[in-house]
Amino acid sequence: MIHIVVVGILVIIMAILTYVGANSVGLMPVQASAQAVPIDWMWGWQVVAISFLFALIVVPIFYSLIVFRRKKGDTSDAEHIEGNTPLEITWTVIPLIIVVAFAYMGAYSLGESRRITDPNAMIIKVTARQFSWTFEYPEYGFVSNELHLPVWKQVVLKMEAVDVIHSFWVPEFRVKQDVVPGRVTEYRITPNLVGSYKVRCAELCGSNHADMEGAVIISTQADYDTWVAEQVELAAAATPEGRGKKLITANGCIGCHSVTPQPGVSAPSWFGLFGSQVLLADGSTVTADDAYITESILDPAAKEVEGYSPTIMKPFTLTPDEIADILAYIKSLK
Amino acid sequence: MKKIFSIPLIRGIIWQVIGLLVGIGIVVGIRLAMGLPATGPYLVTEHAWVFGGFLGTLTFLAGHGVMDGWFKVWRGEIVSDHHEDKPGWEKYFGPSLDHKVIGIQYTVTGLIVMILGGTFALIFRTELAFEGMQFLQKAQYNTLMSMHGIVMIVVILLGIGGMMNYLVPLLIGAHDMAFPRLNSFAFWIVVPAAVWLLSSMALGGIETGWTGYPPLSANMKLVGQQMFFLAVFIVGWSSILGGLNLIATVVRMRAKGMIAFRMPIFVWASIATSLISLTATQLIGLSFQMVMFQRLFGMGFFDPNKGGNPVLFQHLFWFYSHPAVYVFILPGLGIVSELLPVFTRKPLFGYRWIAMSSLGIALVGFLVWAHHMFTSGMNEYLRVPFMYSTLLVAVPTGVKFFSWTATIWKGKIDNPVPTPMLFTVGAILVFLLGGLTGPPNATVSTDLHLHDTYWIVGHFHDTMFGGFMFPFFAALYYWFPKATGRRMNETLGKIHFWLMTPSFFVMSLGMMYIGLHGMRRRIADYDPAMNFQPMHLIITISGFLIALSVLVFFINLIITMRKGEVARGNVWNSRSPEWLVESPMPAHNYEHPFEVVGEPYDYGLSGSKYVEFAKHK
Amino acid sequence: MSHTQDKASALKQGILIGVYLAVLTLLEFLVAVSFMSVMVLAVIALVKAALVAYYFMHIYKLNAEHEGSHDSYEYKTGTNRLGLWLFLLSDSFVFGGLLVSRFNLLGMERPELNQMLGLGVTCVLLLSSFFMNRAETSIAHGDTKGFLNGTLITIVLGVAFLVGVVGVEWRLAKLADVIVNKDVSGGIFYMMTGMHAFHVLTGVIFLFLVWRNGRKGYFTQEQHWGVEAAAVYWHFVDLVWIFFYPALYLIGKLIV
């Protein structure tokens, strides 16, 4: 009996230590959405259960291993205890009750995280492709490769994939949703902390899956409005360069290519590309003229650039006008 | 030279290559005759590789000789199922019918493949230890990561195949499995499958993870993807036939007096496992076959452009692949329940409850698959019911844990603790961590954050190590004298344990920690801004320490085989029938059949007996 | 129990079950063309399957007690029987998976197929099951000649079914724009019929081996596990078609 009491006390101490220890290392990133609150509440209770059950099993095992181990010279078997049906029923029924309670809490917190606080929430169209994210703001008619959101406003992302399955995840938002080709999935979120985050693709989507990240910027309403105004102005500028820039964002080109002297994520930079000599994987060189760039858009594998072979880019179907706009934009990058 | 070719394994592999070449030739010929292009980025088109692989598997089996008995039956000859092996090592390379030989074939193949799977992990772990790409390309990383996953799954299937084949007939007092020829066949088809699996690395690799989700797996222009599907399909058949054989054996071949509730607990676990592998495995085979056909013939099952549904694949796939994790762990948990009474010198606490909990886990396991798909975009109303069913698995698992704790309570465990018992306790602790980190993934709301992160990676490494690796090592240390007549070195065994266990805890806890903070699964590189590098370095070092500990195990194995301590008697003072006869086990098992006269785990009850051997044959 | 019947009444029972199955198949077809109810079709299919499983496949034999030592032919046959049924249980998961895929992908729609041909091949397969049953009943009562003839007719009907599906139906379907790589309805049609045809093919090969060994006098009244295995497998293939036929030909409205 004394053993049971000691073990009971040790279990409580161990459970408290585990719980405090787990929480002191900081288990979750910051909360940046209203949806994170019920999810973290659920998580908190799970840590309580984990700590307690961990102690409940580990303490008696170690206690027994130390206290009841075979004494020197003892060769007899241990006490013949076959089982105890009331005890077995107890540790079937009580966990069953706990499990049902936790499932209920899980459903409750899920419901909370899906609560529609703004039925007229702004809709943003998200397109996922290998290996970039594109965000279209239909209300304003522009496309961006950054997701800007005003703080404390619920928004709905309508997400679609063009090639394979991707998954939209901002760790600070807690919520994750796959983006599946052939269907539109929804992601409803209320950002609540100004800051700069990243959406990270959470479903293996090909060679460069690791790089499939996009900026998510939560700003005050005023900053957000300024950004929107800038974007609208840019989109309205109907120069060939302007249209070209819009096209390369909408088609996800700058997910891989870059427009600065730094090389892109997994594709050559376009900065100063036009008119330069490009070294190909087969050792030859080619001048980056209209014909070469057009061919590389329509049939990327025709001429593989050194260092980027085998080509991972897929052929794009664009009209000659669109290609002319993109060429104009690339020519402007000097 | 002639002697080498007389070894069935070598002969089979030569025939496999011939079959591959002939198959490729046939398809190339047909395509050329039809005016279709026959060459591709990997020399010939995918069709040729797949058909060659299929034909090569058949020619391996024919050339190896594992089907000779069936060929004779088909010709109308009468063949015997009784095994007669010549003494010596040659029998391990040929189609032996002896379940003990097949068990050892499974186990040794499993250990060899484990070295490969572990090496893949060490390579990509080294890459992950530092930010940026060091020495691998991202595509190579993806291939190594996918190969590590699927190769380790094959290792586990081989390992449980080894344990169940070797032990179950001995534990129930049968002279062999119910279908010895089928048993041999089920093992030998794994060999060509393993060759195809490894060949996929040379044919462009696999970049989809072992789950092979379409449309990615259907779009990737890599022949390796097809060889991977083919290999898994074949291994699946091994699992199905193995499960079938085991159920028939237990139902039909038990010793006299061995009623259901007097079967050793490992037999219960094996039955539960086999029920799953017999039935559910068909669906991973079907889903992979459908992707193969989508690639080969353009059938649009999972192609949204043709009206297909990518999420359907996930349903079919997980209908097997979730119960599959119970296939992986139930035999291991059976080993834990089997060894605890021997070392605590106490009866197994709540024998019937533990037996039923295995079946309970297996049956509930059929109803939980969609918890892998909470974020997949499937019908949303399915999420909460699947959360309830998944969390229910915690109840029978809890019964096991509490019963184990009660078995250990007041047990007289030897001091110092013998190596098999160390691994058994290690298994309980590691599996406890895996079990406790499960419910947050089963709960929809928290899973929205946890899904597809390193938290999951940590969680399932816990369950696989606790449910398979630790019990597997415990079983190897425990039954090694039975199979060889020599006992493994205790000191090296303890070094193995004390090196592996702490390293493993550091590794899996580290994985879970960075997972919670945003480290995704299956990424070749991570954002430096997240400051994960120190933890990744620690995880990598722990991984290497685990590898080192396994190296110690192999050294121990080799030393013991050559000059280990001879142990012919009841090394562990067990009540189980296989220990009551001399080691190594005679070729035809029990010379005198036994009858079950008592309970299996009545340690501490003086005068009690589990089995009684017949005086006469 | 019916396996202890004399030969005449056993054969009579086979005819009776064959007639039931034929009537149910016709009924099924009429339901589909008149008032189309999935519920009724499902019930009819289940009744047909139960008749086949009980009277043709003798599922109750799984329960039989076996006297004698574990090494006796009778005991081994019992073990083999369990093994075969476990295999069929496993295999039925493949076909179940295909049915689930069919309804998931196409819902209550179906590709346009030749109805008369569908009914025709279904009847051919049904008839083959009937003759298979006669062959097995014959050997169980020591009638080798009846067994050989029955098996041969089953093989011929099996080949006729294969020609009907793979040779004719696939060609007609292609003409009717059910094309393998065009859209998913073509894919699932060829996958389901192809997978089933593959099983029919293996069944035909199995039966051929049984027939050839039977001619050599390999099977006797007491020892004919090979015949029983081939028969049970053959009936299983028929049983699968009992579900595939309505799923492919009858249920749902045409895709236009």
CATH code (residue B422): 1.20.210.10
- A271 neighbors A261 (Cβ within 8 angstroms): yes
- Strand, helix or coil at A176? strand
- Strand, helix or coil at B114? helix
Confidence of residue A318 (pLDDT cuts 50, 70, 90): confident
On chain A, the residues whose CB falls within 8 A of the CB of B417 are 65
Nearest CA in chain B to C180: B299
pLDDT in tens, A85-101: 999 999 999 999 999 99
Q: Which domain holds residue B72?
A: 1-77+90-95
Residue A117 predicted with pLDDT over 80:
yes
pLDDT on residue B1: 67
Among B116, B201, B203, B206, residue whose Cα is nearest residue B154: B116
Contact flag A92-B213 (C-beta cutoff 8 Å): no
- B580 neighbors B611 (Cβ within 8 angstroms): yes
Query: What number of residues does chain B have?
Result: 617
| ipTM score of complex | 0.94
In this structure, what token pair is assigned to residue B65? 């000789």
Q: Which domain holds residue A249?
A: 238-332
Residue B68 and residue B102 in one domain? no
In this structure, what token pair is assigned to residue B280? 């559910």
Confidence of residue C182 (pLDDT cuts 50, 70, 90): confident
- B275 neighbors B314 (Cβ within 8 angstroms): no
What is the amino acid identity at position B214? P
Contact flag B179-C209 (C-beta cutoff 8 Å): no
Residue A184 lies inside a defined structural domain of this protein: yes
In Å, how far is B191's CA from the nearest CA of chain A?
29
Residue C66 predicted with pLDDT over 80:
no
Which of A:254-273 have CB within 8 Å of B? 266
Residue B167 lies inside a defined structural domain of this protein: yes
Confidence of residue C1 (pLDDT cuts 50, 70, 90): very low
- What's the predicted TM-score (pTM) here? 0.92
Residue B416 lies inside a defined structural domain of this protein: yes
User: How much helix, strand and coil, in percent to the nearest 5, is found in chain B?
Assistant: 70, 5, 30
Residue B425 and residue B476 in one domain? yes
Contact flag C90-B251 (C-beta cutoff 8 Å): no
Residue A98 lies inside a defined structural domain of this protein: yes
On chain A, the residues whose CB falls within 8 A of the CB of B40 are none
| pLDDT cut 70: percent of chain C above it | 97
Strands C253-254 and C109-110: parallel
Residue B71 and residue B166 in one domain? no
Among B497, B485, B512, residue whose Cα is nearest residue B568: B485
Residue B40 and residue B134 in one domain? no
What average pLDDT does this structure show over A314-330?
Answer: 84
Q: Say how far apart CA B393 and CA B188 lie, in whole Å.
A: 34
In this structure, what token pair is assigned to residue A4? 């049971």
Among A184, A101, A193, residue whose Cα is nearest residue A151: A193
Complete DSSP assignment for B339-391: HHHHHHTSPPTTHHHHHHHHHHHHHHHTT-GGGGGTTTT--GGGHHHHHHHHH
What is the amino acid identity at position A27? L
Q: What are φ and ψ of residue A157, in 5° steps?
A: -95, 125
- Residue B144's H or E segment, with its range, is helix B138-172
Nearest CA in chain A to B205: A207
Residue A178 lies inside a defined structural domain of this protein: yes
Q: Say how far apart CA B206 and CA B224 lie, in whole Å.
A: 6
Residue A80 lies inside a defined structural domain of this protein: no
- B295 neighbors B360 (Cβ within 8 angstroms): no
Q: Say how far apart CA C25 and CA C124 lie, in whole Å.
A: 12
Q: Say how far apart CA A175 and CA A37 lie, in whole Å.
A: 11
Contact flag B307-C79 (C-beta cutoff 8 Å): no
pLDDT on residue C2: 42
Residue B451 and residue B479 in one domain? yes
Residue B38 and residue B121 in one domain? no
Residue A123 β-bridge partners: A156
In Å, how far is A126's CA from the nearest CA of chain B?
15
Q: Do chains B and A touch (3 or more CB pairs under 8 A)?
A: yes
Number of domains in chain A: 3
Among A78, A81, A69, A61, residue whose Cα is nearest residue A7: A61
Residue B101 and residue B8 in one domain? no
Q: Say how far apart CA B215 and CA C108 lie, in whole Å.
A: 25
Q: What is the largest distance, in Å, between two alpha-carbon atoms of chain B?
A: 82
Residue A208 and residue A255 in one domain? no
Residue B404 lies inside a defined structural domain of this protein: yes
Contact flag C101-B251 (C-beta cutoff 8 Å): no
Residue B82 lies inside a defined structural domain of this protein: no
Q: What is the DSSP letter of A309?
A: -
Contact flag B301-C184 (C-beta cutoff 8 Å): yes
Among B98, B202, B94, B205, residue whose Cα is nearest residue B146: B205
CA B258 to chain centre: 28
Instruction: For chain A, report the end-to-end CA distance as a whole number of angstroms.
Output: 83
Q: What domains does chain C contain, in order, with CATH numbers?
A: 2-254 (1.20.120.80)
pLDDT in tens, A49-67: 999 999 999 999 999 999 9
pLDDT in tens, B467-483: 999 999 999 999 999 99
Number of domains in chain B: 2
Q: Show the low-confidence residues of chain B (pLDDT under 50).
A: none
Q: Say how far apart CA A199 and CA A195 lie, in whole Å.
A: 13
Residue A321 lies inside a defined structural domain of this protein: yes
Q: Say how far apart CA B257 and CA B259 lie, in whole Å.
A: 6
Residue B131 and residue B71 in one domain? no
Nearest CA in chain B to A59: B405
Say which of A81, A92, A100 has its CB closest to residue B349: A81
| pLDDT cut 90: percent of chain A above it | 60
Low-confidence winner among A180-189, A219-228, B165-174, C106-115 (lowest mean pLDDT): C106-115
Contact flag B524-A80 (C-beta cutoff 8 Å): no
- Domain C-terminal end among B95, B125, B156: B95
Contact flag B279-C212 (C-beta cutoff 8 Å): no
Q: What is the CATH number of the domain that holds A315?
A: 1.10.760.10
Which one of A33, A114, A164, A309 makes the best mutation probe of the B interface by having the most chain B beta carbons within 10 Å? A164
Give A5's Cβ-side CA count (13 Å radius).
2
Residue A134 and residue A165 in one domain? yes
Residue A26 and residue A51 in one domain? yes
In this structure, what token pair is assigned to residue B144? 């190594």
In this structure, what token pair is assigned to residue B464? 């696989």
Low-confidence winner among A203-212, A306-315, B23-32 (lowest mean pLDDT): A306-315
In Å, how far is C189's CA from the nearest CA of chain B?
10
pLDDT on residue A273: 85
Contact flag C89-B278 (C-beta cutoff 8 Å): yes
Residue B609 lies inside a defined structural domain of this protein: yes
Strands across the sheet with A147-150, in order?
Answer: A147-150, A213-219, A195-200
Question: Considering just the CA atoms, what is the radius of gyration of chain A in Å?
Answer: 29
Residue A78 lies inside a defined structural domain of this protein: no
On chain B, the residues whose CB falls within 8 A of the CB of A202 are 375, 451-453, 520-521
Contact flag B516-A61 (C-beta cutoff 8 Å): no
Residue A133 and residue A207 in one domain? yes
Residue A246 and residue A200 in one domain? no
On chain A, the residues whose CB falls within 8 A of the CB of B402 are 57, 87-88, 91
In Å, how far is B516's CA from the nearest CA of chain A?
6
Contact flag A165-B310 (C-beta cutoff 8 Å): yes
What is the amino acid identity at position B407? T
Neighbours of B6 (CB within 10 A): 12
| pLDDT cut 90: percent of chain C above it | 74
Residue B302 and residue B172 in one domain? yes
On chain C, the residues whose CB falls within 8 A of the CB of B303 are 184
Q: Higher confidence at residue C155 or residue A293?
A: C155
CB pairs under 8 A between A and B: 268
Q: Is residue A115 within 8 angstroms of chain B, CB to CB?
A: no
Q: Which residue do the tokens 């490009």 mark?
A: A278
Residue B58 and residue B115 in one domain? no
Question: Considering just the CA atoms, what is the radius of gyration of chain C in Å?
Answer: 19
Low-confidence winner among A256-260, A275-279, B167-171, C88-92 (lowest mean pLDDT): A256-260
On chain B, the residues whose CB falls within 8 A of the CB of C181 are 297-300, 306
Residue C4 predicted with pLDDT over 80:
no
Residue A77 lies inside a defined structural domain of this protein: no
Residue B143 and residue B65 in one domain? no
pLDDT on residue A115: 92
In this structure, what token pair is assigned to residue A123? 């809709």
Among chain B, residues having any CB pair with chain C shorter than 8 Å are 74, 76, 178-179, 182, 240, 244-245, 247-248, 251-253, 278-283, 285-287, 290, 293-294, 297-301, 303, 306-309, 312, 315-316, 319
| pLDDT cut 70: percent of chain B above it | 100
Q: Say how far apart CA A47 and CA A23 lie, in whole Å.
A: 8
Contact flag C180-B299 (C-beta cutoff 8 Å): yes
Q: Is residue A181 within 8 angstroms of chain B, CB to CB?
A: yes
Q: Is the peptide bond before A320 cis (omega within 30 degrees of 0)?
A: no
Q: Say how far apart CA B593 and CA B573 lie, in whole Å.
A: 21
Among A32, A183, C97, residue whose Cα is nearest residue B380: A183
In this structure, what token pair is assigned to residue A300? 């990327």
User: How much helix, strand and coil, in percent to the nearest 5, is found in chain C?
Assistant: 80, 0, 20
Residue B101 and residue B44 in one domain? no
- A252 neighbors A134 (Cβ within 8 angstroms): yes
Residue A164 and residue A102 in one domain? no
pLDDT in tens, A153-187: 999 999 999 999 999 999 999 999 999 999 999 99
Residue B83 lies inside a defined structural domain of this protein: no
Strands A213-219 and A147-150: parallel
